[in-house]
Structure 1
Amino acid sequence: MISNRILVFVLPFLWCLHLPYTCSNSEGDALHSLRRSLSDPDNVLQSWDPTLVNPCTWFHVTCNQDNQVTRVDLGNSRLSGHLVPELGELKQLQYLELYKNQISGNIPEELGKLTNLISLDLYSNNLTGSIPESLGNLKSLIFLRLNNNKLTGQIPRALTNIKSLKVMDLSSNDFCGTIPVSGPFEHFPMKSFEGNPRLDGPELLGSVAYDSGCN
């Protein structure tokens, strides 16, 4: 007969096997990595306590019924610092809202792992570098807003493969080369690309992207 002492250790383990997302803290670890990378003068991240089992009780975080993070809402929060590759661990994330902050640095290529993402709003920050080709993996993406940053390089042709993409704004950056015209780009208005003085305009359908000294 199993002693009570053994049950004390075995039952929590069995519970985790039954409800793995309740016991896993990987998503909390990922969000705590983001918190450590950011400066937060208004303490909007004060509730992000890494000692909790999961982050579903944290402010600005929404979870589904399985305690998986589906939404992070930190727009217009006066945050600065940089994004972290650990965000790619939020496998069920649908909305990443970090607009109107002072976040700098590159967009992590690991965001391309967020295949359930519907909305990626990073507009009005100080982001630099290029758009990762990996964002072309976001086959559920509907909204992509990266306007009013300091992004450079060509517009990745991988984005033309996102058939679900309905709204995109890349205006007011420093992109160069030509504008794709295939896939969802066929329907985006030119205002989505204005304010990029090194963009040469739409490319011919089926042509190879022209870089015009783009870097």
Structure 2
Amino acid sequence: MASAVGALAAVILALGLWIAAGNVEGDILHSLRRSLVDPENVLQSWDPTLVDPCTWFHITCDNQNRVIRVDLGNAKLSGVLIPELGKLENLRHLELYKNNIAGHIPQELGNLKKLVSLDLYMNNLTGPIPRSLGKLKSLAFLRLNKNRLSGQIPRELSSISSLKIVDLSDNDLCGTIPTSGSFAQFSPKSFDNNPRLNGPELQGFVPYDEAASAVTSDEHSC
């Protein structure tokens, strides 16, 4: 009898943790919905009164009902991204391309340790590429092209050995292009149409780290 009661208690505890996790992720995604302008009502199903967001359109969950994918590409959204996205700790794909999202890329996205693809291309994003993205050691696809991003390319990105595709073209980046680590494999097309970008880091010139240390209070200014 005692063992049966213990097993039931364990099930109830697990269910409670599952509901709590779902509510946290749902709260984060509903906060994102509030920060976006949605003229086509693609987020209409994002109902915060549901137990978890796994039934919402454009959301994919794993078999433990944890959010692993947000698909909102080409949805005519505007507004801004929220730092709370960095708390979706199981997220693997963040797809927000071909919208009109403005503002900065939250540095908290660097907390998404399982992230495989970050696709924010063809938006209206400004400001620097956060250095914190260098912590995304599972990242394979980083596409930030066709925005209005400025500042230097963070050298921390070159330490991500899993990177297969990087596209930073059509922005306003400056400084030099890292050539070490994973960046040794990317073609110049990945960095095209950044008028203030000076080309690859070259031996015999001011080392990248030395140049970066001379940056003002905005660590990504040039």
* Superposition TM-score, scaled by structure 2 size: 0.87
CA drift at 1:89: 1.1
Counterpart-to-counterpart distance in 2, 1:23 and 1:15: 14
- Matched AA of 1:135: L
- How many equivalent residue pairs? 206
Any gaps of 5 or more consecutive residues in structure 1?
1-11
Alignment map for 1:167-206 (pairs within 5 Å): 167-204=165-202
Q: Which residue number in structure 1 is paired with residue 122 of structure 2? A: 124
Any gaps of 5 or more consecutive residues in structure 2?
1-7, 216-220
Asked if residue 151 in structure 1 is aligned to residue 149 in structure 2, the reply is yes
Verify the 8 A CA contact 1:182 1:205 in the aligned structure 2.
no
Counterpart-to-counterpart distance in 2, 1:55 and 1:205: 51
Q: In the TM superposition, what whole-angstrom CA distance separates every residue of 1:126-183 from its partner, at most 9, and x where no partner exists? A: 0000011110010000000000000000000110110000100000000000000001
Q: Which residue number in structure 2 is paired with residue 18 of structure 1? A: 14
Q: In the TM superposition, what whole-angstrom CA distance separates every residue of 1:17-73 from its partner, at most 9, and x where no partner exists? A: 214233331100110010000000000000000111110000000000111000000
Alignment map for 1:20-59 (pairs within 5 Å): 20-24=17-21, 25-59=23-57
Q: Which residue number in structure 1 is paired with residue 160 of structure 2? A: 162
The residue matched to 2:127 in structure 1 has which SS?
coil
Verify the 8 A CA contact 2:148 2:172 in the aligned structure 1.
yes
The residue matched to 1:56 in structure 2 has which SS?
helix
Counterpart selection for 1:111 from 109, 112, 115: 109
- Matched AA of 2:153: I
* Superposition TM-score, scaled by structure 1 size: 0.90
Verify the 8 A CA contact 2:176 2:208 in the aligned structure 1.
no
Q: Which residue number in structure 2 is paired with residue 208 of structure 1? A: 208
Q: In the TM superposition, what whole-angstrom CA distance separates every residue of 1:175-198 from its partner, at most 9, and x where no partner exists? A: 000000001100000000010000
After superposition, the Cα gap between the structure-2 partners of 1:13 and 1:149, relative to the gap in structure 1 and judged at 3 Å, is farther
Verify the 8 A CA contact 1:145 1:170 in the aligned structure 2.
yes
Identity score, percent? 64
Q: Which residue number in structure 2 is paired with residue 93 of structure 1? A: 91
Counterpart-to-counterpart distance in 2, 1:106 and 1:208: 24
Counterpart-to-counterpart distance in 2, 1:202 and 1:13: 60
